[in-house]
Amino acid sequence: MNRYIINIFTLILALSSAVSSDAAPTVSNYPVPAKHFRSVVDTSEELVKSAFKNARENSPFAAMEEAGAANDDQYGELAGQMKDYAAKFLGTRYRLGATGPTQFDCSGFVGYVFRNFGFNLSRDSRSQYLQGEHVDKSDIKPGDLLFFSSRSSGKGRVGHVAMVVDVNDDGSCRFIHASSSKRGVVYQNFPDNGYYSRHFIGAKRIIGTSI
């Protein structure tokens, strides 16, 4: 790839040098007619423009940018589908150890949603935290998982999991989860300057990873 880029820009520089010369060229000490020289310059300018265009269109970096944009679109589409699917279970009752669809605990709910889209997550939240890729809190996206400690797990140990559904411009977000305290599947804002802010442990990305 590096050799490709070097060859392209070497050609561009050579053609640019030819165009940028103000003096009329000479052949065996005889000046080339100005009309003929202008024709050469015009042709060279077109070649330079063509070379730049080809470099932009055929550069491996251009292909990478297009692939990245396509991946972002696919990610957003899948995350949107997961968000809509999860919303169907709003109000579903909480029950410890339940995996759905009529009752859920937190990891059972997340696992049920992701399994519907071909992702096989571990059964409990602590094991789910070992899957996917770590994401900084400032970089979370819809579809990411947020992990928290709980009263039963103890401070600093994973005991609860939720799925991000919306991210705001200021970095705050809304997640959906099966809540034992609110007795069912509900939305929650994060950070909340309360319980979830104090118990936050980390975020993981499952979509686009090998789990």
Confidence of residue 68 (pLDDT cuts 50, 70, 90): very low
Report the pLDDT value the prediction gives residue 19, as an integer from 0 to 100: 45
Is the pLDDT at 75 greater than 80, yes or no?
Answer: yes
Q: Residue 162's closest CA among 177, 141, 144?
A: 177
Mean pLDDT of 146-169: 95
Per-residue pLDDT of 84-130, as tens digits, reads 999 999 999 999 999 999 999 999 999 999 999 999 999 999 999 99
Report the pLDDT value the prediction gives residue 69, as an integer from 0 to 100: 54
Contact 127, 153 (CB under 8 A): no
Q: Which two tokens stand for residue 147?
A: 């992990």
Torsion of CA 63, 206, 85, 195, to 10 degrees: -130
pTM over 0.75: no
Question: Distances in Å between the alpha carbon of 96 and those of 100, 104, 179, 181?
Answer: 11, 7, 10, 12
